[in-house]
Structure 1
Amino acid sequence: MKLNKTLLSLTAATGIIATGAAANGAKADKITVKSGDTVSQLALDHATTVDNVQQLNNLENVDLIFVG
């Protein structure tokens, strides 16, 4: 899934990236979104899915996140 590169950010200025294990109660990674980041690339970098990142961060639109 290729997403448009837009200004990125999450409400709390950090994102939570979870692997399949994290979805089952294991550790989740906290990251700070930087300019140029995309949800799809963050998901790939952390071995998870766009859907998982979207759900864990309550993102309405995965094409629009903000730096922070």
Structure 2
Amino acid sequence: MVNLYGAFTINKSLNNQHILLVDDVLTTESTISNCAKVLRENGAARVSGITCTTPREDFRND
């Protein structure tokens, strides 16, 4: 898994907005989790996430 710490930034306050994150596939939740953390740190009141697919049960993320 790639370390995403510091990969996401935002340049303005979100002023208590509700943000919806859309991701193409949910494997480890690291992308949505890290994005949500940055959004909350910049004023988002609520962050929701939705994904289009998940990997097969036999998928291995080595």
TM over 0.5: no
Q: TM-score, length-normalised on structure 1? A: 0.25
**Higher share of residues assigned helix:** 1
What TM-score do you get using the length of structure 2 for normalisation?
Answer: 0.25
Which protein is bigger by CA-based radius of gyration? 2
